[in-house]
Amino acid sequence: MRRWKCTIAYDGTYFVGYQIQPNKRTVQGELERVLATMHKEAVRVTASGRTDAGVHAHGQVIHFDSPLALSPDGWKKALNAMLPDDVTVREVEQVDDSFHARYSVIAKEYRYKVRTAVEYDVFSRHYAYHFPYPLDTEAMKQALAFVKGTYDFTSFCSAKTDMENRVRTIYEATLCATDDGLEFRWVGNGFLYNMVRILVGTMLEVGQGKRSPASIPTILAGKDRRLAGKTAPAHGLYLWKVVYDN
Amino acid sequence: MRRWKCTIAYDGTYFVGYQIQPNKRTVQGELERVLATMHKEAVRVTASGRTDAGVHAHGQVIHFDSPLALSPDGWKKALNAMLPDDVTVREVEQVDDSFHARYSVIAKEYRYKVRTAVEYDVFSRHYAYHFPYPLDTEAMKQALAFVKGTYDFTSFCSAKTDMENRVRTIYEATLCATDDGLEFRWVGNGFLYNMVRILVGTMLEVGQGKRSPASIPTILAGKDRRLAGKTAPAHGLYLWKVVYDN
């Protein structure tokens, strides 16, 4: 048996999410279907983490074990030949048995695209959040500085989470200008359920002047989801990169 | 009765084409369905021309006549509220009865997007032609210079066309670099059936060195579809702009 690590991209629009669910179209379901065809038996795929319905991935990472003797490029071609056109394997690498797509994660990067141009654009309707309102980017940058660091992110996490330890470290929280709006980039050692979307929703409220940058430490200290802003929609979010220790 | 001119955009991916067909999803069908709901009777929509299945529009133009007393902005909002998310009305203008979306056209601009980056990209799969081969852009620019002007474009037109006069004028034929490839821009007084896609297919063969730029005048002179290159796929093509005499 060999262990294979794959970097995959997917358009989340027509999936109910990453994680397999009976009779639903999921990314894991598509991957396991293709692997089952190749192996003539079930093969379990493990990802760095799940993504919700509508959330995209530029660089999700998965691993699986297989007795088949294919080269990395052979795996890439075989998998891509059988996968639907909205999931693609970008890179395949043989890894040590100690590698685990979820447990070995050191950091993750998420990006969130916002279209601020006034006009609705059919071509980006599934790929950026249309938020055609004036935004104070300086205020948002000040607010971003307050979430960089190690905090208990309970206030920025869906109240549905059963995760007990909600302390995470955000290494980078930046805002970049794009052709038609802006993009948030988040790098951290881990993100709680809906954490990036709640952070983005809150930052947009800061940008609109509905909250001050200085309110961020108060929200963090309150450890209450109701203190933070709205959850931004799924379709602006991309799991951009997963970082492992070599 | 007043005549209304609308500039519309659509994502052609999930339409069988612009033109209405029974029991098929078409752009004209969606527009006429919405207008029929508003008017409680059938309203005919006339476009600058049709587009094929998978072809997109950034600036298609249509007109229709209506007895309803709405402002331009009122029309825009009412139509967009009822249209599906892959068609949008960008601009509405009241026009003179002498305006006709097809007959009054002075020029049209089409753009064609090519992704030359080697890696397949799930996010552009419906929005650019993936052609991951080295291309000689200087040779393509030389070839483009040969189609600029007034010619009989029979060789660059689907053999299925019943159009008798195949003389058209191309005012501009340019090639621009983009983030992940290149874009052809075509401005002309009219384009025959599949003309832009056959021009692009032929230019890509020039770029690959399969044809010389100097072969273009020979292809034009031969007036035979078999002399030109392959028809490039629909999903890279955008009806970008329709120009009228004020």
pLDDT digits (tens, 9 = 90+) for B226-245: 999 999 999 999 999 999 98
pLDDT at B217: 98
pLDDT digits (tens, 9 = 90+) for B139-179: 999 999 999 999 999 999 998 777 789 999 999 999 999 99
pLDDT at A243: 98
In angstroms, what CA-CA distances link B135 with A98, B141, B181, B205, B232?
A: 44, 11, 10, 9, 15
pLDDT at B40: 97
Whether residue B108 is predicted with pLDDT greater than 80 in this model: the reply is yes
Residue B110 known to bind ligand: yes
Whether residue A163 is predicted with pLDDT greater than 90 in this model: the reply is no
DSSP state of B188: E
Which are the catalytic amino acids of B? 52
Q: Closest Cα partner for B56 from B14, B12, B17, B90?
A: B12
Give CA–CA dist A11/A13, Å, rounded: 6
Give CA–CA dist B110/B29, Å, rounded: 23
pLDDT at A230: 98
For testing the chain A interface, which of B55, B58, B122 should be mutated: the one with the most A CBs within 10 Å?
Answer: B122
Pairwise CB contact (< 8 Å): A9 & B85:
no
For testing the chain B interface, which of A31, A92, A123, A127 should be mutated: the one with the most B CBs within 10 Å?
Answer: A123
DSSP of A41-99 = S----EESS--BTT-EEEEEEEEEEE-----HHHHHHHHHHHS-TTEEEEEEEEE-TT-
Whether residue A84 is predicted with pLDDT greater than 90 in this model: the reply is yes
| Contacting residues of A for B127, CB less than 8 Å apart | 123
Q: Closest Cα partner for A136 from A211, A233, A237?
A: A211
Which whole number is the average pLDDT over A92-112? 98
Residue B246 pLDDT class (50, 70, 90 cuts): confident
| Contacting residues of B for A120, CB less than 8 Å apart | 80, 88
pLDDT at B210: 98
pLDDT at A200: 98
| Burial category of B162 from C-beta neighbours within 10 Å (exposed 0-12, middle 13-18, buried 19 and up) | exposed
DSSP of B69-116 = ---HHHHHHHHHHHS-TTEEEEEEEEE-TT--TTTTEEEEEEEEEEE-
Report chain A's mean pLDDT, rounded to a whole number: 97
Closest chain A residue by Cα to residue B9: A122
pLDDT at B131: 98
Other beta carbons within 10 Å of A166:
17
C-alpha distance from B168 to closest chain A C-alpha (Å): 30
Which whole number is the average pLDDT over B103-126? 97
Hey, is A152 helix, strand or coil?
strand
**Burial annotation A18-48 (CB, 10 A radius, 16+ → b, else e):** bbbeeeeebbbbbbbbbbeeeeeeebebebb
Domains of chain A plus CATH, in order, are 2-95 (3.30.70.580), 106-244 (3.30.70.660)
pLDDT digits (tens, 9 = 90+) for A175-220: 999 999 999 999 999 999 999 999 999 999 999 999 999 999 999 9
pLDDT digits (tens, 9 = 90+) for B56-95: 999 999 999 999 999 999 999 999 999 999 999 999 999 9
Which whole number is the average pLDDT over A144-168? 93
Hey, is A119 helix, strand or coil?
coil
pLDDT digits (tens, 9 = 90+) for A105-144: 999 999 999 999 999 999 999 999 999 999 999 999 999 9
